[in-house]
Amino acid sequence: MARRLLHPPRLSTVESLILELLIANDDAMYGLQMVAASRRRLKRGTIYVTLGRMEEKGFITSRQEAAPAEAGGLPRRLYEPTALGRRVLAAWTAAAQHFSPRFAQ
């Protein structure tokens, strides 16, 4: 369950990158897929910690894959952005464009 937001939502650089990837992909993604798509900007050892935190904040949701991808292996967890996550990313990008001319280009 998403943690109740007492303060305005904050988005770190890694969190915004994850949201960008998820929104751009249209479909749910799993951890390794995001690591590969991020061109080494996301690390395998820490991505799940960030994903867990984002889920607590309510920016993304996750579900387990129906069947194991490989025989004997654990089922993968798929991640999707929530409406809140989409709105926070849009607001964060707008704010970044407003305050930093570099983003506006």
> CB of residue 40 vs other proteins: minimum separation in angstroms?
13
Q: In what order do the strands lie in the sheet with 60-64?
A: 29-30, 77-81, 60-64
> CB of residue 61 vs other proteins: minimum separation in angstroms?
12
3-state SS, residue 46:
helix
Residue type, 14: V
> Would you count residue 49 as binding other proteins (CB under 8 A)?
yes
The span from the CA of 18 to the CA of 49, in Å, is: 12
63 pairs with which residues across the strands?
78
> Would you count residue 37 as binding other proteins (CB under 8 A)?
no
- In a 13 Å sphere around the CA of 102, the CA atoms on its Cβ side amount to 1
The residue count for binding other proteins (CB under 8 A) is 22
Of 75, 86, 92, 96, which lies in the binding site for other proteins, with binding defined by CB under 8 A? 75
> Would you count residue 48 as binding other proteins (CB under 8 A)?
yes
Footprint of other proteins on this chain (CB under 8 A)?
30-32, 43-46, 48-49, 51-52, 55, 62, 69-77
